[in-house]
């Protein structure tokens, strides 16, 4: 299990409240504030281009230089992308074993 505490956005702007990401055998858990993005994807589940909405992105590197990008949205949306190298996409995964999102107290 890996636990990460994130204190700033991708742009370097500090967060008022830390975001906690836990990667474990059963998947990825995210706890943190909602940022109030105006757009929300339709429905739930798989969502192409999820990065255009409120999302947490987790990058998991491999020994061969490739990586997997997991995107989890606060409203039940997700996206899994596989890369052979920096921005060299090789696969978009539209199926995962299970996905559960719980929004508690606006977080």
For 41-84, what is each residue's pLDDT tens digit? 888 788 888 888 888 888 888 899 888 888 888 888 888 888 88
Q: Write the CA distances from 7 to 13, 32, 53, 57, 92, integer angstroms.
A: 9, 10, 20, 14, 29
Across the range 24-47, mean pLDDT stands at 78
Residue 80: the pLDDT is 85
Q: How many helices (H) and strands (E) does the chain have?
A: 0, 8
Structure tokens at 84: 């052979």
């Amino acid at each position: 299990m890996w636990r990460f505490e994130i204190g700033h956005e991708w742009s370097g702007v500090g967060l008022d409240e830390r975001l906690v990401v836990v990667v474990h055998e059963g998947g990825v858990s995210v706890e943190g504030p909602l940022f109030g993005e105006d757009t929300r994807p339709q429905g739930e589940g798989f969502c192409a281009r999820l990065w255009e909405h409120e999302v947490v992105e987790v990058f998991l590197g491999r020994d061969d230089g490739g990586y997997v990008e997991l995107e989890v949205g606060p409203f039940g949306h997700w996206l899994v992308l596989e890369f052979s190298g920096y921005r060299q996409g090789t696969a978009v995964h539209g199926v995962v074993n299970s996905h559960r999102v719980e929004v508690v107290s606006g977080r």
